[in-house]
C-alpha cells in the first residue's frame, strides 16, 4: 500500500511516497521515498531511499532506523547514495543504543569505508552500560590501523 504524505519543508511542502511492507521483495528496485518494514505487526525499521539506494532524507535524519520489539530505537545509520557516510563532523554514520536508550557504540565512515573522524577520534568506539569507554579501533580508508600507525596525537587523551 502506498501512502503520500505532505511534509513541511521551510515555507513549502514536499511530497513523500511511503510504502508499508512485510517482505523486502515488495520494495521496488528504483523506489524513492520512505519504507516501513513490519515484523509481527510492528514496525521493525524505517528506511529512506532515493532511486533505489538508501539515502538520508535530510542532513540530521538517518536513512535507516531499526527498532526493538518494544518500539525503542536499536540503531541508526546515515547513508549517502547507498554508502555509509558521516553526515557531519559531529555525527557518526552509525550509532547503536542499549535497551535503556543510552549510547552503546558508534562507527564513522567516509564514502562507505570506515575512517577516523577529521578530529582524530576513532572510527569505532564502544561504551559500557555505565557510560565508560570500552574500546576504540582506528581506521583509515577502510583499513584498520595498528597501534604504531595511529598518530600520537590520537592516542594521548
Note down pLDDT in tens along the chain; length 157 residues: 445 455 555 556 667 899 999 999 999 999 999 999 999 999 999 999 999 999 999 889 999 999 999 999 999 999 999 999 999 999 999 999 999 999 999 999 999 999 999 888 999 999 999 999 999 999 999 999 998 888 754 544 4
pLDDT of residue 156: 41
3-state secondary structure of 58: strand
End-to-end CA distance of the chain: 52
Q: Is 79 in contact with 57 (CB distance < 8 Å)?
A: no
CA dist list (Å): 37 to 23, 31, 62, 88? 7, 14, 16, 27
pLDDT of residue 16: 85
pLDDT of residue 59: 86
pLDDT of residue 9: 54
pLDDT of residue 153: 45
How many whole angstroms separate alpha carbon 46 and alpha carbon 26?
Answer: 14
- CB within 8 Å of 121: residues ≥ 6 apart: 108, 136, 154
Amino acid at each position: 500500500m502506498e501512502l503520500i504524505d505532505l511534509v513541511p519543508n521551510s515555507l513549502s511542502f514536499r511530497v513523500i511516497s511511503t510504502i508499508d511492507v512485510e517482505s523486502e521483495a515488495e520494495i521496488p528496485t528504483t523506489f524513492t521515498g520512505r519504507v516501513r518494514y513490519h515484523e509481527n505487526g510492528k514496525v521493525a525499521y524505517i528506511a529512506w531511499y532515493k532511486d533505489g539506494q538508501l539515502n538520508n532524507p535530510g542532513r540530521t535524519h538517518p536513512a535507516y532506523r531499526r527498532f526493538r520489539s518494544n518500539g525503542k530505537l536499536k540503531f541508526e545509520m546515515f547513508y549517502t547514495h547507498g554508502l555509509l557516510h558521516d553526515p557531519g563532523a559531529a555525527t557518526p554514520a552509525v550509532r547503536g543504543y542499549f535497551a535503556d536508550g543510552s549510547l552503546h557504540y558508534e562507527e564513522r565512515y567516509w564514502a562507505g569505508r570506515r575512517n577516523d573522524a577529521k578530529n582524530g577520534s576513532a572510527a569505532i568506539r564502544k561504551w559500557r552500560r555505565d557510560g565508560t569507554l570500552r574500546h576504540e579501533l582506528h581506521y583509515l580508508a577502510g583499513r584498520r590501523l595498528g597501534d604504531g600507525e595511529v598518530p600520537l596525537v590520537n592516542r594521548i587523551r
